């Protein structure tokens, strides 16, 4: 087993869990880019800023309807990408965001052992070394 650790983002009050990810197009033909993504265990799907999806030439998949916690719905564009996190690559359909921060949701988190170590302000991801 290998443990990966990521410092919380202390620009938030209270500090927030973030991880470093590598973003690349689904077919892995483009140069990957590295970015920080907020860990959000309440998000069904991961989401990436549209500007980053365009940089890696992510493939548009479809438009779906997203519903937030208040029941508000809106259309969102979905793109196929590969996301590297803790030396594991996930091939996923992600939401395009019009903001600046990426979000890692349960579509990825549910495949990992993730500990939010608040007192140490660290996100810890334990990965089987065979992965």
Residue boundaries of the structural domains of the chain: 2-127
- Nearest CA-CA partner of 39 in 101, 128, 129: 101
CATH number for 2-127 (one of 1.50.10.10, 3.40.50.2300, 3.20.20.140, 2.40.70.10): it is 2.40.70.10
* CA separation for the pair 7, 18 (Å, rounded): 7
User: How does pLDDT run across 51-104, given as a tens digit for each residue?
Assistant: 999 999 999 999 999 888 898 999 999 999 999 999 999 999 999 999 889 999
pTM of this structure: 0.91
pLDDT attached to residue 128: 85
* CA separation for the pair 61, 118 (Å, rounded): 36
Mean pLDDT of 28-49: 95
Q: C-alpha distances in angstroms, 12 versus 20, 74, 91?
A: 17, 27, 29
């Amino acid at each position: 087993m290998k443990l990966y650790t990521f410092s919380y983002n202390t620009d938030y009050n209270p500090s927030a869990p973030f991880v470093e990810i590598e973003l690349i197009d689904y077919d892995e033909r483009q140069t990957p880019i590295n970015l920080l993504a907020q860990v959000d265990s309440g998000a069904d799907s991961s989401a990436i800023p549209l500007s980053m999806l365009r940089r890696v030439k992510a493939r548009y998949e479809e438009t779906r309807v997203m519903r937030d916690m208040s029941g508000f719905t809106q259309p969102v564009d979905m793109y196929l990408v590969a996301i590297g996190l803790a030396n594991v690559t996930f091939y996923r359909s992600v939401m395009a965001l019009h903001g600046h921060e990426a979000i890692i949701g349960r579509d990825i988190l549910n495949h990992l052992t993730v500990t939010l170590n608040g007192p140490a302000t660290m996100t810890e991801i334990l990965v089987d070394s065979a992965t």
